[in-house]
Chains A and B, each alone.
Chain A
Amino acid sequence: MSGDGTLLSVRDVTVRFDTDDGAVHAVDRVSFDLKRGEVLAIVGESGCGKSVTTMSLLGLLPPTANVEGEARFNGGADLIGAPEGELRRIRGREISFVFQDPMSSLNPVFTVERQVGEVLRRHLGMSKAQARERTIELLDLVGIPSPERRVDEYPHQLSGGMRQRVMIAMAIACEPKVLIADEPTTALDVTIQAAVLDVLRELRERLGMAIVLITHDLGVVADIADRVVIMYAGQKVEEAPVAELFAHPQHPYTIGLLGAAPRTAGAVLPAGGNGNGAHRPSAPTRKRSRLVEIPGRVPALHAPPDHCPFAERCPRADDRSRSEVPALETVRPGHLVACFHPGEHHDQEVQPA
């Protein structure tokens, strides 16, 4: 599946945290490829290892994390276990991050100019004046009105949406080849979400940037992604192009996620579906059906799984699911799934009691 356009190639990344309460196996042999200009969505419930996977690639995890596997950027050397200085040159320059919370991701004591300028001056060696000019251009690019005025403001003078755009401006300052956006719209209200997604879409088109979008909002996925990786309990359980996934979901977990997202006339709406079984209590009429939730919760990952991690919550689980780990298999063109009983039929058993 790795073509010649592959920008980021991640192979069998495994992350284990050594905590006082024993090891936590946060990510288990996750692989994916990212092509130039592609938007890859990584979807899953909270705590299923989405963020940890991406942060492990650039050595951004705390020292308690034990990372194994391989991650090659642009055909270069392995990033995992690379020396700090090497990673520092890549961070923000080739691969950059946008984090979830725009309220606390900016340094409160510096103006926008100094913060965005810091990245420009560090990576591109720009002078103060050049950096200022470029910062204004970047603010304009991410859709901040009157950027020449905003550039002198402090974070507390900006709204949440503005701050997230400043974060994006900072992340794209050096025109990185990969932008990893970790739930960039979760902390924002719906209208601002749409605006931020527009910014990302435009950046992809104008700069040819590849984007890894971490989210639990399937509406966002449908809106912007090209390909989707579904993660559950630290494992990749399904991967498919976005249209394929929405039309023919195979893994019961994916089907559960889709069932838990509110729809209107067959379309998934970007409305706070946090994947954790967002359900509205509504009258069970013929036309309005109740949102289906996935029963149970993500298991604690104190040991590497010796069976299908979803078995406890899965209506299709049988003895094999409870004793073996399913491997990823191609069930349709470009569509991988790790399940002993894949298929797109809806499970009646998933219906809540």
Chain B
Amino acid sequence: MSAVDVAAAPPRVRTRSRALRRLRRRPMAVAGLAVASLFVLMALFAPLIAPYDPAATNFSAVLQGPSAAHIMGTDDLGRDVFSRVVFGARASLEAGVLATLLALIVAVPLGLMAGYYRGWWDPVISRVSDVMLAFPFLIVAVGMAAIFGPSLRNVVVALGVAAIPWIVRVTRGEALALREQEFVGAAVANGAGDRTILARHLLPNMAGVLLVQATVWIPQAIIGEAVLSFLGLGVQPPTPSWGSMLSAAQPFISIDAWLALWPGLAIFLATLSFNLLGDGLRDVLDPKTQR
């Protein structure tokens, strides 16, 4: 313990920048961060990056391989594949980020209540989560598409709902562990109420864990969106999505394999980069590996 104090004494570095510095020492995590940021920028500035309108057809140039005019070639309707991959990042990241956000917003308060208050909250919330875990998300998504019609919004909801029980479990577990910490008892002895304990003592101490959860769920949701769009339950044409592009490339796989390669590569890189980033963050933010 005393060695720690000596090490921490001279430079007074904020924990946040220290976490970043430690992240920098992990090349895979840095690569993940770089590629993930690239995808985010691509989605944000899609109209500036894409050389063509992703929906513009050109029947005089269908199923072309990569060329100077179309660096990823064109599809069966003569649309520029690169532009479609760039715009497809929007659907993927939107689904990934929004579904994760939705899950966090619903699951974190529930997990906190179950873990902190215990009482009847805990069994009710935990058992409902268990029931939700019993439904494969694909079934939920198909059901929702059947009822509300296929759309990106429903994909987001289905993916978010699928993630909720997992995040409830993680949050509940963290809350259970943290509520027994001495500093929580000390805060109560100093007159803190439940709201203060939850907002200022439990939540900030599990921020790292939740951040890691988010980086784990974003790639899951990206794949989920691709799966649903591949099945025609997600983003509807002409809006491009990596999943629907893969699905559209299927009939031409023997003529033009490029067509399937690009969206597949995009899905692969996007999910891999978020996973690497998540792994790196977990190592850096895990209190057990800290110091």
Q: Are B183 and A60 in contact (CB under 8 A)?
A: no
Find B183's partner among A93, A107, A123 (CB 8 Å cutoff).
Answer: A107
In the assembled complex, B192 has its CB within 8 A of some CB on chain A: yes
Q: Are A159 and B2 in contact (CB under 8 A)?
A: yes
Q: Decide yes or no: A104 and B9 within 8 Å by CB, A58-B189, A91-B191, A118-B192 being known contacts.
A: no
Q: Decide yes or no: A104 and B181 within 8 Å by CB, A122-B196, A158-B5 being known contacts.
A: yes
Distance between Cα atoms of A101 and B181 in the complex (Å): 11
Distance between Cα atoms of A92 and B4 in the complex (Å): 31
Distance between Cα atoms of A152 and B15 in the complex (Å): 12
Q: Are A157 and B191 in contact (CB under 8 A)?
A: no
Number of A-B contacts (CB under 8 A): 85
Q: Decide yes or no: A170 and B190 within 8 Å by CB, A104-B181, A122-B196 being known contacts.
A: yes
Interface band, chain A: 35 or more
Scan residues 75-112 of chain A and give those whose CB is less than 8 A from a CB of chain B.
88-93, 96-97, 99, 101, 103-110
Distance between Cα atoms of A93 and B1 in the complex (Å): 32
Q: Are B191 and A119 in contact (CB under 8 A)?
A: yes
Q: Are B291 and A105 in contact (CB under 8 A)?
A: no
Q: Are B183 and A105 in contact (CB under 8 A)?
A: yes
Residue of B1, B8, B189 with most partner-chain A CB within 10 A = B189
Q: Are B204 and A88 in contact (CB under 8 A)?
A: no
Q: Decide yes or no: A167 and B186 within 8 Å by CB, A109-B205, A157-B9 being known contacts.
A: yes
Q: Decide yes or no: A88 and B193 within 8 Å by CB, A107-B183, A110-B204, A153-B12 being known contacts.
A: yes
Q: Are A105 and B4 in contact (CB under 8 A)?
A: no
In the assembled complex, B25 has its CB within 8 A of some CB on chain A: no
Q: Are A118 and B189 in contact (CB under 8 A)?
A: no
Task: Chain B residues near A346: list those with CB within 8 A.
Answer: none
Q: Are A99 and B15 in contact (CB under 8 A)?
A: no
Task: Chain B residues near A231: list those with CB within 8 A.
Answer: none
Distance between Cα atoms of A167 and B182 in the complex (Å): 12
Find A122's partner among B12, B188, B191, B205 (CB 8 Å cutoff).
Answer: B191
Task: Chain B residues near A109: list those with CB within 8 A.
Answer: 15, 204-205, 207
**Min C-beta distance of B120 to chain A, whole Å:** 13
Task: Chain B residues near A149: list those with CB within 8 A.
Answer: 12
Q: Are A103 and B1 in contact (CB under 8 A)?
A: yes
Q: Are A92 and B15 in contact (CB under 8 A)?
A: no
Interface band, chain B: 20 to 34
Distance between Cα atoms of A236 and B2 in the complex (Å): 39
Across the two chains, which residue of chain B brings its CB closest to A182? Answer: B189
Distance between Cα atoms of A229 and B187 in the complex (Å): 27
Q: Are A97 and B5 in contact (CB under 8 A)?
A: no
Task: Chain A residues near B204: list those with CB within 8 A.
Answer: 107, 109-110
Distance between Cα atoms of A345 and B52 in the complex (Å): 102
In the assembled complex, B123 has its CB within 8 A of some CB on chain A: no
Distance between Cα atoms of A109 and B19 in the complex (Å): 13
Distance between Cα atoms of A149 and B11 in the complex (Å): 12
**Min C-beta distance of A21 to chain B, whole Å:** 20
In the assembled complex, B201 has its CB within 8 A of some CB on chain A: yes
**Min C-beta distance of A116 to chain B, whole Å:** 10
Q: Are A88 and B191 in contact (CB under 8 A)?
A: yes
Distance between Cα atoms of A171 and B190 in the complex (Å): 7
Q: Are A105 and B196 in contact (CB under 8 A)?
A: no
In the assembled complex, A17 has its CB within 8 A of some CB on chain B: no
Task: Chain A residues near B182: list those with CB within 8 A.
Answer: 99, 101, 104-105
In the assembled complex, A32 has its CB within 8 A of some CB on chain B: no
Task: Chain A residues near B205: list those with CB within 8 A.
Answer: 107-109
Task: Chain A residues near B188: list those with CB within 8 A.
Answer: 60, 91
Distance between Cα atoms of A16 and B207 in the complex (Å): 37
Q: Decide yes or no: A60 and B15 within 8 Å by CB, A122-B191, A122-B192 being known contacts.
A: no
In the assembled complex, B185 has its CB within 8 A of some CB on chain A: yes
Across the two chains, which residue of chain A brings its CB closest to B201? Answer: A107
Distance between Cα atoms of A211 and B201 in the complex (Å): 28
Q: Which 7 A-B pairs have the closest CB atoms?
A: A92-B190, A92-B191, A97-B189, A104-B182, A91-B191, A105-B186, A107-B183
A-B contact pairs, 23 of them (CB 8 A): A60-B185, A60-B188, A88-B191, A88-B192, A89-B191, A91-B189, A91-B191, A96-B189, A97-B186, A99-B182, A99-B185, A104-B181, A105-B182, A107-B187, A109-B204, A109-B205, A110-B200, A119-B191, A122-B190, A122-B191, A123-B191, A156-B291, A159-B2
Q: Apart from A103-B1, A105-B185, list 15 A-B contacts with CB within 8 A.
A: A60-B189, A88-B191, A88-B193, A91-B190, A92-B191, A101-B182, A107-B200, A108-B287, A109-B15, A118-B196, A119-B190, A122-B190, A122-B196, A170-B186, A171-B190
Residues of B within 8 A of A (CB): 1-2, 4-5, 8-9, 12, 15, 181-183, 185-193, 196, 200-201, 204-205, 207, 287, 291
